[in-house]
Every structure is written in structure tokens, then in C-alpha cells.
């Protein structure tokens, strides 16, 4: 085996890159700072950024709820628009008779 062959150099590069990827995956999984290509680290989220993420998540939940309610209302309007007029009139009259 010739240690100066291109295959050995490519194998060393592949092993190094694979190790770097696995290292960063493990660090990300456990919440540590990640290394970039130049050996530096990417900063973790500051408390202000965490607060922004929390606020955006809450706003997202509110908007999803509004969308769900609008979809329900749209379904009712579609049902009213597509139902025969006689049936809608009968339902209105039934409601008037209850009062």
C-alpha cells in the first residue's frame, strides 16, 4: 500500500469530513454551539432571541386558531350557498317557530 496514493488522501479527507459532520450532529442534538468551516463556533440563541421565538410561536398558535375558525365559517357559508333555497327557508322558519 502506497501511503502517498490519491486513494489514501481521499480516504483521510472523507474520514475527517465524516467525523466533523458526526461531531456537529451530536453537538446540535445536545444543544451545544456548532463549529463552522473555519473552526469557529456559531453562537447559541440569546435570551432575547429565545423570547422572540416564544412570542412568534404564541402568535403562530393564535393565527392557526383564527384560520380554523374562518374555515368553519367558510364551510357554513358554502353550505348555505349550495343548499337549495327551500331547505334554507324551512330551517329559518323552524328557528322562528322555536322562539
Using pLDDT thresholds of 50, 70 and 90, give the confidence band for residue 83. confident
Which pLDDT value is given to residue 30?
80
Q: In whole angstroms, how far apart are CA 18 and each of 12, 13, 24, 68?
A: 10, 8, 10, 45
Whether pTM exceeds 0.85? no
Which pLDDT value is given to residue 71?
96
Residues near 8 by beta carbon (within 8 Å), at least 6 away in sequence: 1, 2
pLDDT tens sequence across 38-82: 666 666 667 787 888 899 999 999 999 999 999 999 998 888 788
Show me where the domains of the chain are located.
1-44
Amino acid at each position: 500500500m502506497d501511503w502517498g496514493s490519491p486513494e489514501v488522501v481521499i480516504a483521510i479527507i472523507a474520514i475527517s469530513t465524516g467525523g466533523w459532520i458526526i461531531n456537529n450532529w451530536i453537538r446540535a442534538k445536545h444543544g451545544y454551539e456548532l463549529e463552522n468551516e473555519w473552526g469557529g463556533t456559531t453562537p447559541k440563541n440569546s435570551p432575547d432571541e429565545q423570547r422572540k421565538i416564544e412570542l412568534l410561536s404564541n402568535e403562530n398558535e393564535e393565527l392557526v386558531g383564527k384560520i380554523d375558525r374562518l374555515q368553519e365559517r367558510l364551510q357554513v357559508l358554502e353550505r348555505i350557498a349550495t343548499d337549495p333555497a327551500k331547505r334554507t327557508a324551512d330551517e329559518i322558519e323552524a328557528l322562528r317557530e322555536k322562539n
